[in-house]
């Protein structure tokens, strides 16, 4: 996301008290999500919006403040239970349960790389949009957080297991062009994740265990221990484990 706050980047950030934060809560500079939506997704204002693959609803509160009407859809019924919104639909983006031309705007935020058939999903997203509608699809570069990918590789994991390359800044345009005539990518490299507690790195690796473990050719506990020690070595040497970010927002019509 673009950095809204231009305060100076500090290499060493304090670790807050209480539960450990996600690495994504350690972004520098911090981002005002509402201001970012206004700048990057201006068509949300006054629109009928579908948040496709909404997950636990990260974008729902800010989008509700801007949209005329919002529908939150996810394939996982359990995740929908975490979404604070009355209009929740359990469904597959490859076979959307809506009539043609139902929405002014569709959001597909950090989710298309999870979809088995991305061109089919793109066609469905195009189908439910009005002729003048817009799709916003948010993703990462294949080299985003390359510091973490390199650490995982050094410890015996396969960075490809993260799966971002299936729909990335580099590959997403061609996939979306199978359904949309006008596809524009805006990349942003203005933020970094600054981690001073190695356990935050471990938490992220454990969160992705379902994808990573099949590539690890030894015990999972040994792999995690090596990730922990590797991250701690960087923190001890440099003051923080800093991960570069490179987001990409596709705007499609």
Rounded to 5 degrees, φ, ψ at 30 are -65, 160
Which pLDDT score, from 0 to 100, does residue 231 have? 98
Sequence-separated (6 or more) residues with CB below 8 Å from residue 104: 43, 47, 48, 49, 129, 130, 132, 133, 134
For 43, how many CA atoms within 13 A lie in the half-sphere containing its CB? 18
Contact 60, 87 (CB under 8 A): no
pLDDT at residue 47 tops 80? yes
Give 2's pLDDT tier (boundaries 50, 70, 90): very low
Which pLDDT score, from 0 to 100, does residue 18 have? 56
52-66 average pLDDT score: 95
pLDDT-above-90 percentage for the chain? 83
């Amino acid at each position: 996301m673009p950095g809204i706050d231009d305060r100076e980047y500090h290499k060493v950030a304090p670790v807050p008290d209480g539960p450990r934060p996600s690495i994504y809560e350690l972004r520098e500079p911090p981002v005002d999500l509402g201001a970012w939506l206004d700048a990057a997704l201006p068509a949300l204002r006054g629109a009928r919006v579908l948040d496709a693959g909404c997950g636990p609803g990260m974008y729902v509160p800010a989008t509700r403040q801007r949209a005329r009407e919002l529908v939150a859809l996810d394939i996982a019924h359990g995740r929908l239970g975490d979404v604070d919104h009355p209009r929740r639909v359990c469904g597959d983006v490859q076979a959307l349960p809506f009539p043609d031309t139902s929405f002014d705007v569709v959001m597909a935020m950090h989710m298309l790389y999870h979809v088995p058939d991305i061109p089919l999903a793109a066609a469905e997203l195009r189908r439910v949009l009005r002729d003048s509608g817009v799709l916003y699809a948010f993703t990462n570069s294949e080299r985003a957080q390359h510091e973490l990918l390199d650490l995982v590789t050094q410890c015996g994991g396969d960075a490809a297991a993260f799966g971002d390359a299936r729909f990335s800044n580099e590959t997403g345009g061609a996939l979306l062009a199978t359904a949309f005539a006008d596809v524009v990518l805006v990349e942003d490299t203005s933020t970094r994740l600054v981690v001073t507690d190695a356990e935050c790195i471990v938490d992220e690796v454990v969160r992705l265990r379902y994808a990573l473990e099949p590539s690890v050719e030894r015990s999972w506990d040994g792999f995690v221990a090596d990730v922990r020690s590797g991250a701690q070595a960087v923190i001890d040497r440099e003051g923080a484990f800093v991960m570069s970010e490179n987001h990409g927002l596709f705007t499609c019509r």
